[in-house]
Amino acid sequence: MEINTIRAEFQKILQQTFERDDLVATDTLAAADVDEWDSLSHIELVVALEKHFKIKFSLPELNNVKNVGEMLLLIQRGLKK
């Protein structure tokens, strides 16, 4: 799956999770940029992404993700497995 397709689907899930239609999934967007993005909502986002893309993330993978761009690449790698 192309990264732009992943980004579009990620953005929909991001907006649904945080109930904010104004969120844009830029590569540099990080949890610190979104007031509603706390540890619980992070888990909700990860679970929604895993369900949608039918992939599983490992804890070490998730711990290394610093922003949306890195998460998109992680999803893309997961889809290739």
For residue 81, is pLDDT > 90?
no
Phi, psi of 45 (to 5 degrees): -65, -45
Count of Cβ atoms closer than 10 Å to residue 49 Cβ? 21
Q: Where are the domains of the chain?
A: 3-80
Average pLDDT over residues 14-42: 97
Q: What residue type is 75 in one-letter code?
A: I
pTM: predicted TM-score of the whole model, two decimal places: 0.93
pLDDT at 11: 98
Average pLDDT over residues 8-18: 98
Are residues 78 and 6 in contact, defined by beta-carbon separation less than 8 angstroms?
A: no
CATH number of 3-80: 1.10.1200.10
| Per-residue pLDDT band at 72 (split at 50, 70, 90) | very high
